Amino acid sequence: MKIITNISLLVGLNTQGLLLRRGKQMQDIERIEDAYLVIDDQGKIESWGKMQELDLTHYADNKTLDIIQLEEGQVVMPGFVDSHTHLVFPAWREGEYVMKIKGMSYEEIARQGGGILNTARRMQQANEEELYVAAAERLKEVISLGTTAIEIKSGYGLSTESELKMLRVVRRLKETFPITIKATFLGAHAIPMEYKQEPDRYVDLVINDMLPRVAGERLAEYVDVFCDRGFFTQQQTERILEAAARYGLKPKIHANELGLTGGIQAGVKYKAVSVDHLEHVGDEEIDLLLNSQTMPTLLPATSFFLNLPFAPARRMIDAGLPVAMASDFNPGSSPSGNMKFVMSLGTLKYKMLPEEAFNAVTINTAYALEISDAEGSIAKGHWANLIITRPVPSFEFLSYLFAHDLVDKVFVKGKEWEGKAGKF
Ligand code: NIG
Ligand code: FE
């Protein structure tokens, strides 16, 4: 058993069993000052309270008791949940980064066979071992930055064998890391060059060849499609989601990054757990989302990195919607999995209040991975997935200091995380 004592601010509590926070509720955070927190031997949250109520004699018989006493100013909060990443990839794309600086757009690069297709070519040659080693380094790094649950997509394979290879790497990460990892099959991420004239034939391959294999080996929990201009149409997306539903794969899709392209319509129709990106959202889309269980998920680091418009987060929250924010970690459009930076971007670029941004990267992303009954907030019986910050003067500093590393320690399922990332 562990007791963290002298916590200046314990924040992100969830005493009402909420699974998400929407609209005005996004401004609510439950917090107590000068607190303690008890973690049981299973690594779950047992109890908490004000320091003055802590009676250590109560725990006197406990042989394994470990007391972690904090310094003045240290905050304890839930670990970040990153509900959208492409963390398994064979190589970075710094060349395209320079092309973008010189004026080319993400879409132009993609049309010329760069972008996702560039990574997919490298993926054909990569072996599972090297992919695993590189992804494991990235995962160690993001855990050190405070991420304690994550989703990882395939989508750089674009052939049956390579998609399966990526998903087996994700399976191995699940087996070797203590954090919760959810796998998403993104066979329809881009149309390979050889299918450019007949994209529907590629959709057939995804449906008839890839999906049965992915489902047969139980390699994914979710299905994703990049439903956007120059990628997959709403109709093609719906065909894939329809087929995936027969295998019990729920959608979490890329929608409306480049235009109003019907992705939200397709996602809501097939009961998507989340629709992600949403740089382009109209009134019709907001109404659809209001009448759904789907979590709108925004990826502000992608807008920042690609100079895309920022999603209308304020309009969405003011309309009563919940909003989640994830990193989109990938080599092309968001080469970072730093969720603290994502939280800061939410305040700076979406004009979310610090409380709203905090909820968007914890409880609401946990909902977008269907784990908010066990992670993403501090509640009795939830995993003790926690960040202990360096001393800060107030809650606002967590997002205000947009580029500082505020993490002192990370706890995953009650154990201090000691992994350090090495090379890029
Ligand atoms: O979410 N938009 C589609 N897919 C990724 C980008 C992947 C890449 O460029 O490698 C995204 O931004
Ligand atoms: Fe993405």
Which atom of ligand 1 is least distant from the CA of 302? 12
Residue 421: pLDDT band by 50, 70, 90 thresholds? confident
Res 9: pLDDT: 98
pLDDT tens digits, one per residue of 71-106? 999 999 999 999 999 999 999 999 999 999 999 998
Cα 338 to Cα 218: distance, rounded to the nearest angstrom: 29
Q: Which residues pair with 275 in a beta bridge?
A: 253, 296
- For residues 129 and 352, what is the distance between their CA atoms, to the nearest angstrom? 41
CA of 410 to the centre of ligand 1 (A): 28
Least distant ligand from the CA of 306: 1
Distance, CA 230 to ligand 1 centroid (Å)? 13
State how far the Cα of 327 lies from the Cα of 156, in Å rounded to an integer: 18
Atom of ligand 1 minimally distant from the CA of 277: 1
In this prediction, residue 14 carries a pLDDT of 98
Question: What whole-number distance in Å separates Cα of residue 224 and Cα of residue 253?
Answer: 5
When computed from its CA atoms, the radius of gyration of the chain, rounded to whole angstroms, is 21
**Tens of pLDDT along 306-365?**
999 999 999 999 999 999 999 999 999 999 999 999 999 999 999 999 999 999 999 999
Query: Using CA positions, which residue lies closest to atom 6 of ligand 1?
Result: 333
**Angstrom distances, CA of residue 207 to CA of 239, 241, 243:** 8, 9, 6
pLDDT at 222 over 90: yes
What's the gap in Å between 9 CA and the centre of ligand 1?
Answer: 37
* Contacts within 8 Å (CB) and 24+ apart, 52-55: 54/3, 54/5
What residue owns the CA closest to ligand 1's atom 5?
A: 333
Question: Going along 51-117, which residue ranges are E strands?
Answer: 66-69, 75-78, 80-82
Q: Which of 104, 306, 328, 336 most suits a substitution to test ligand 1, by most atoms within 8 Å of the C-beta? A: 328
**pLDDT confidence of residue 112:** 87
Q: Domains in the chain, start-ordered, CATH in brackets?
A: 2-79+378-421 (2.30.40.10), 80-368 (3.20.20.140)
For ligand 1, residues with CB inside 6 Å are 86, 115-116, 119, 226, 254, 257, 302, 328, 330-333
Beta-carbon count within 10 A of 380 CB = 14
Q: Which of 265, 297, 302, 258 is nearest to 280 (CA)?
A: 258
**Number of CB atoms found within 10 A of residue 119's CB:** 26
CA of 187 to the centre of ligand 2 (A): 13
* Planar angle of CA 145, 148, 150, nearest 5 degrees: 100
3-class SS at 94?
helix
The residue whose CA is least distant from atom 12 of ligand 1 is 333
Spacing of C-alpha 183 from chain mean position: 11
Ligand 1 center to residue 79 CA distance, Å?
25
Contacts of 303 (CB under 8 A, 6+ apart): 279, 309, 310, 311, 349
pLDDT at position 60 is 84
pLDDT digits (tens, 9 = 90+) for 240-254: 999 999 999 999 999
**What is the pLDDT, as a whole number, of residue 49?**
98
Summarised one tens digit per residue, pLDDT across range 148-176 is 999 999 999 999 999 999 999 999 999 99
Closest ligand 1 atom to Cα of 257: 2
Looking at residue 164, what is its pLDDT? 98
**CB proximity list for 161: less than 8 A, separation 6 or greater:** none
pLDDT in tens, 27-79: 999 999 999 999 999 999 999 999 999 999 988 888 889 999 999 999 999 99
Rounded to whole angstroms, how far apart are CA atoms 253 and 416? 33
User: Tell me, what's the pLDDT at 64?
Assistant: 86
What pLDDT, on the 0 to 100 scale, is given for residue 335?
A: 98
Q: Which of 104, 305, 308, 333 to mutate to test the pocket of ligand 1 (most atoms within 8 A of CB)?
A: 333
Tell me the CA–centroid distance for residue 73 and ligand 2, in Å.
36
Q: Average pLDDT in the 244-267 region?
A: 97
- The model's pTM is 0.98
Going by pLDDT thresholds of 50, 70 and 90, the confidence category of residue 138 is very high
State the amino acid at position 30 in one-letter form. Answer: E
Q: DSSP character for 44?
A: B
pLDDT score recorded for residue 15 = 98
pLDDT at 70: 98
- Write out pLDDT tens, residues 188-219: 999 999 999 999 999 999 999 999 999 999 99
Mean pLDDT score of the chain: 97
Per-residue confidence (pLDDT) for residue 168, from 0 to 100: 98
Between CA 26 and CA 356 the distance in angstroms is 5
Nearest CA to ligand 1 atom 1: 328
Distance from the alpha carbon of residue 157 to the mean position of ligand 2, in angstroms? 15
